[in-house]
């Protein structure tokens, strides 16, 4: 089966274009637990899931490109960054969490653009794990699961699931940022010593 070589990049760009639509849906009714909130959460989950789809297609059909390596992590950062900001605007997530995440994400993205003429800084395993945990934590935070029951045990379980996954996501965000810096410093030293 022939696959257009730009299909993975088109999926990645679609993920970026979903971000403003998702943010509007999240904020349109001030975060109420109605239809727009559920729709925003589902859109986020579907959009972030395409991260695995575009990568699979690119690898499966051997159409991995430098543009794809650059755009894919940026698309993830745009979508997750918008979700972090939206949750903080709604008062559902402390701003310090969003700021820590955005500083790391924007810093790595800017660095990617700085070194792009020299080499493509592809996503590392810890960065990919960070994205998975951010996606899980944000999905739990975005879905109005607590509204499904008034039972105290259910409310507590949803709260704990959100806190634990968000904590792991923040720790991985910081750790993966440090990992990128250390890896790049080592690679730079190797290049200079040649």
What tens digit of pLDDT does each residue of 162-187 get? 999 999 999 999 999 898 888 888 87
What tens digit of pLDDT does each residue of 112-135 get? 778 766 766 666 788 889 989 999
The rounded distance, in Å, linking the Cα atoms of 8 and 177 is 26
pLDDT at 113: 78
Kindly state whether residue 2 falls inside one of the protein's structural domains.
Answer: no
Counting the structural domains of the chain, the total is 1
Residue 110: count of CB within 10 angstroms of its CB: 9
Please name which of 85, 133, 83, 78 lies closest in space to residue 108, comparing C-alpha atoms: 78
pLDDT at 24: 96
Contact between 42 and 64 (Cβ < 8 Å): no
Kindly state whether residue 1 falls inside one of the protein's structural domains.
Answer: no
What tens digit of pLDDT does each residue of 12-56 get? 899 999 999 999 999 998 878 889 999 999 999 999 998 888 888
CB neighbour list of residue 123: distance below 8 Å, 6 or more residues apart = 69, 72, 73, 131
- pLDDT at residue 60 tops 90: no
Please name which of 127, 192, 136 lies closest in space to residue 164, comparing C-alpha atoms: 136
User: Which residue range forms the structural domain that includes residue 156?
Assistant: 7-193
Q: Is the dihedral of CA 191, 70, 126, 176 positive or negative?
A: positive
Q: What is the CATH number of the domain that holds 91?
A: 1.20.120.1760
Kindly state whether residue 92 falls inside one of the protein's structural domains.
Answer: yes
The rounded distance, in Å, linking the Cα atoms of 22 and 44 is 7
- pLDDT at residue 93 tops 70: yes
Kindly state whether residue 16 falls inside one of the protein's structural domains.
Answer: yes
């Amino acid at each position: 089966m022939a696959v257009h070589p730009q299909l993975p990049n088109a999926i990645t760009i679609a993920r970026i274009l979903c971000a403003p639509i998702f943010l509007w849906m999240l904020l349109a009714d001030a975060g109420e637990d109605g239809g727009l909130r559920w729709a925003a959460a589902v859109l986020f989950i579907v959009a972030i899931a395409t991260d695995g789809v575009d990568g699979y297609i690119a690898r499966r059909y051997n159409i991995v490109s430098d543009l794809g390596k650059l755009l894919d992590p940026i698309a993830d950062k745009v979508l997750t960054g918008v979700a972090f900001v939206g949750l903080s605007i709604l008062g559902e997530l402390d701003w310090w969490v969003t700021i820590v995440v955005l500083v790391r994400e924007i810093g790595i993205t800017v660095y990617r653009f700085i070194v792009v003429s020299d080499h493509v800084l592809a996503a590392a395993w810890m960065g990919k794990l960070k994205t998975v945990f951010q996606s899980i934590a944000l999905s739990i935070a975005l879905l109005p699961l607590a509204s499904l029951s008034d039972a105290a045990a259910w409310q507590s379980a949803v709260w704990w699931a959100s806190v634990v996954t968000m904590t792991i996501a923040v720790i991985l965000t910081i750790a993966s940022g440090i990992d990128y810096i250390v890896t790049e410093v080592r690679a730079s030293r190797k290049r200079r010593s040649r």
